[in-house]
Structure 1
Amino acid sequence: MRTVSGLTTDTFERPRELGDRADPTVLYARTYLLIRLVVGGVGVLLPVALWLVDALVLQGSITLRGSLSAYYHSGARDLFVGALCVVGCLLLTYLAAQRRTWDYWLSTVAGVAVLGVAFLPTQRPPFSTTPPTPLQQRWGEHPVAAAHFACAAVFILSLAALCFVFAARDRRWGGGHPALHRACGVVILVAVAWAVAGFVVDLDLGWLTALYAGEVASVWAFGLSWLVKGSDLLGRPLLTRRGS
């Protein structure tokens, strides 16, 4: 179904099952679903992995950081940047052969934005002994941090929009989990509002800042949505014909 913009929420004709690996249509579908699984898995595991690497493996602080982005200035920097780069590259290649779809454009915007999050660091924490990055030295910490937060906002909102696209497609073609994807989109929007409100009023709970809680809730919600959308690869029969 095409909209006024000329973009569609439909993707491609899906095979009835994924067992015939000699069928190019099956191979395309499996690649498509694998990207969903990897992106969703990274989203669900990243907050926990950052804390574990920072607190246990590298013997850093056992407290939570003020935000996920703050792990750039911790012992888990390489994991943070690497995971975001993996997600960004996968989002940029997601449905690249179908550029008239909402999925392609929203995932492309999200992919560019998350690479910006990875390469434009947030400000260093107070009393940090870590020197500023070359970008921060050239442009200043405040402008780089502002660009970082702009990219983060675009990334998260694009993922929320994709959740609503998933929900609309599942509702239209039957099967799937439209209510779950819609709920994930709503959780992301509420989490973003909560994080923004935390800059105005004190919503922190001890070590748990409103920004950190909002970011983790958003990442887990989008990760769950993408894991569920990729679950066909694990053997569940395909019940719909287009763009499940």
Structure 2
Amino acid sequence: MHIKKIQNHNLFAYRRLRRAIGYLGIFLPIILVLLSLFKFFGTSIQPSISHYYFSNLREIFTGVLCAVGLFLICYKGNGNKVIWKNDNLLTNLAGFMAIGVAFIPTDPIGSSCTQCTLVSIGLKELHSGFAAVLFLTFAFLSIHVFTIGQEQNKEIPISVINENNIYRFCGYGIIVCIALIPFKLFEYATLVFEAIALFLFGSSWLIKGRALGDKGSIGRKLYREQNVTDTEEMWSE
């Protein structure tokens, strides 16, 4: 019984960590844009999330990204011989990329920057590379890692909103958003597509963390589970 309680505690701890990562991803662009609407903060809406590095909201931008990065590095998933299915490898990679994006800035909007810290400006290509790898890793986690492990349950039919369908939608959605950014389709296109990509990333982690619950109709539609025991939940993870 004691071992079972420890297992349950570890399970719930993992779910809380997944939810924390998800919430941070979703609320980062929302908070930055909302605060930009208030003159008190002295920051206008930036052309991209990365440009908030040069604003008065820089600490929020770097702080949230560092938190996401550290959470991802601390997250210990299942190893896999296939690189794009290796949970530990991908989360560690994403974590370091997030920290890199936080502290290696893109080019400032103006000709000069008086608020740059830790690193010098002029590293746009390196910043863009970190960001691209970060988002692609998010997509790989959703498509190739989160979809592992759901066993066939003949008693419960697969719903359109089955968790694996959501993970794939989020993963491919992230790829589409990143592919559209270079085209500059409209004003603030980069900001919008980055925000959508982060929303998809966060949603994927929230579903994996079972933020909506996993009992009753939600459990059947999302996870194909119904009144499972704690031990069975552990093995289903």
Q: TM-score range by the shorter chain?
A: 0.7 to 0.9
Encode CA deviations 1:149-194: one digit per residue, 9 max, x unaligned: 1111111000000111255326545575111110001110100110
> Unpaired runs of 5+ in structure 2?
226-232
Which amino acid in the other structure matches residue 182 of structure 2?
A: V
Aligned to 1:185: 171
How many Å separate the matches in 2 of 1:204 and 1:21? 56
How many Å separate the matches in 1 of 2:72 and 2:86? 13
How many Å separate the matches in 1 of 2:112 and 2:133? 28
How many Å separate the matches in 1 of 2:58 and 2:115? 14
Distance 1:126 1:232, change over 3 A: closer
How many Å separate the matches in 2 of 1:165 and 1:57? 43
Residues 15-30 of structure 1 correspond to what in structure 2 (within 5 A)? 23-30=5-12
- 1:132 shift after superposition: 4.0
Distance 1:117 1:129, change over 3 A: closer
Contact 2:19 2:209 in 1 (8 A): yes
- After the TM superposition, which parts of structure 1 deviate over 6 Å for at least 4 consecutive aligned residues? none
1:161 matched to 2:161? The reply is: no
Q: What is the TM-score normalised by the length of structure 1? A: 0.76
Which amino acid in the other structure matches residue 192 of structure 2?
A: A
Aligned to 2:25: 43
1:195 corresponds, among 181, 185, 188, to 181
- 1:234 shift after superposition: 4.7
| Matched position secondary structure for 1:130 | coil
Report the aligned-residue RMSD: 2.6
- 1:24 shift after superposition: 1.2
Greater relative CO (CA pairs within 8 A, separation 6+): 1
| Matched position secondary structure for 1:168 | coil
Q: What is the TM-score normalised by the length of structure 2? A: 0.79
Contact 2:143 2:171 in 1 (8 A): yes
1:71 matched to 2:52? The reply is: yes
Distance 1:204 1:128, change over 3 A: farther
Encode CA deviations 1:107-135: one digit per residue, 9 max, x unaligned: 11100100100111111111455254352
Aligned to 1:3: none
Distance 1:233 1:216, change over 3 A: closer
- 1:22 shift after superposition: 6.6
How many Å separate the matches in 2 of 1:178 and 1:212? 28
Percent identity over paired residues: 28
2:95 corresponds, among 96, 103, 111, to 111
How many Å separate the matches in 1 of 2:175 and 2:118? 33
How many Å separate the matches in 1 of 2:164 and 2:149? 5
Q: What is the aligned residue count?
A: 211
- 1:49 shift after superposition: 0.6
Aligned to 1:221: 200
Contact 2:43 2:57 in 1 (8 A): no
> Unpaired runs of 5+ in structure 1?
1-19
Contact 1:34 1:233 in 2 (8 A): no
Contact 1:192 1:214 in 2 (8 A): yes
Which amino acid in the other structure matches residue 183 of structure 1?
A: F
